[in-house]
A = this chain, B = another copy of it.
């Protein structure tokens, strides 16, 4: 049995179900191509209820039931009623998919979930920005001490592998600067404004398309980008900064006149999140709208697409471009973390 990963889901909303669908669809490919075999033994969701079966759940059946009734409890087999912490600590899962909601201010309950998992020597994957922006260093230290892995590719640029690019692929390249477009909502709004829309109209359109929330503050004021730049600073550049140390300006003050002026200069407004490593080892991070020259790789990144440029000593600039959100892309981010853990354990 030691080659079979036993997974439990904490939180089973859009992202958790997105991953579940990919796992079902890819089951044989994952086994044949990557040697990855798994069963999902437990799911605990604050709203939908919970179920545990040490021999594995029938995911297709469970998805169907939850789509019909909204209740995990309607699944006929298994133990019901365990809460998140009990599911993490007492199930036979060896990997926890933390996909509960994001509280960017406290990081809870996700931080408690992660700590509980690490304490009982279970690997964790998550796409939840809150805990990572607030406590990445402590959580990673705990995980290392207990010999387990904590992965969170989806917290920045969703399934686009921006974090593993910086952490693994560019290891040893001496990264001195990271800057990018890390919020799709504001990038979409700026792209639409360039086509002639006023800010308010572009925002409404983004809301209709599901790119922006009813309360768009977190996106348009730059707070979402702020959380991501804190993660990049601490995880990739080894800094130890908090949100309140980073100057943050959103796009609400950008006018059609600003857009036109940039056009005349051969430039384009983008909401840029950036961080630079200083010679003394400290970092300087920011979130602010910037005019980017049209021949810069970030300039052509339009609509809800995200991108990140790593400036390195040995390679110059390396840019990655891809989706920054979405059910499948974020579900896939968890799979990429799971496969990364699998690869490292079986090599």
- Contact A318-B160, Cβ < 8 Å, known A297-B300, A299-B300, A344-B347: yes
A344 to B343 alpha-carbon distance, docked (Å): 8
A171 to B165 alpha-carbon distance, docked (Å): 14
A315 in the interface (beta carbon within 8 A):
yes
Docked-complex contact A172 and B339, CB < 8 angstroms: yes
| Interface residues contributed by chain A, number (CB under 8 Å) | 49
Q: Which of A49-57, A97-105, A327-335 contacts B (4 or more CB under 8 A)?
A: A327-335
- CB neighbours of A296 from chain B (8 A): 300
- CB neighbours of A297 from chain B (8 A): 297, 300-301, 321
- CB neighbours of A127 from chain B (8 A): none
- CB neighbours of A295 from chain B (8 A): 300, 302
Q: Please give the distance in Å from A55's CB to the nearest CB on chain B.
A: 24
- CB neighbours of A69 from chain B (8 A): none
Chain B, Cβ-Cβ closest to A158? B315
Docked-complex contact A172 and B314, CB < 8 angstroms: no
A213 to B34 alpha-carbon distance, docked (Å): 41
Q: Is the interface of A mostly helix, strand, loop or mixed?
A: mixed
A238 to B296 alpha-carbon distance, docked (Å): 34
- CB neighbours of A299 from chain B (8 A): 300
A345 in the interface (beta carbon within 8 A):
yes
Chain B, Cβ-Cβ closest to A296? B300
- Contact A323-B331, Cβ < 8 Å, known A172-B29, A297-B297, A347-B347: no
Chain A, 144-183, CB within 8 A of any chain B CB: 159-161, 164-165, 168-174
Interface string of A244-275 (1 = CB under 8 A from B): 00000000000000000000000000000000
A89 in the interface (beta carbon within 8 A):
no
A317 in the interface (beta carbon within 8 A):
yes
Docked-complex contact A26 and B336, CB < 8 angstroms: no
- Contact A172-B316, Cβ < 8 Å, known A295-B300, A295-B302, A321-B297: no
Which A residues contact B (CB, under 8 angstroms)?
22, 26, 29-30, 33-34, 159-161, 164-165, 168-174, 238, 294-297, 299-302, 314-323, 328-329, 331-332, 335-336, 339-340, 343-345, 347
18 contacts between A and B (CB under 8 A): A26-B172, A33-B238, A159-B314, A159-B315, A160-B315, A164-B168, A165-B165, A165-B169, A172-B336, A172-B339, A295-B300, A297-B297, A314-B335, A315-B322, A315-B323, A317-B321, A318-B321, A319-B319
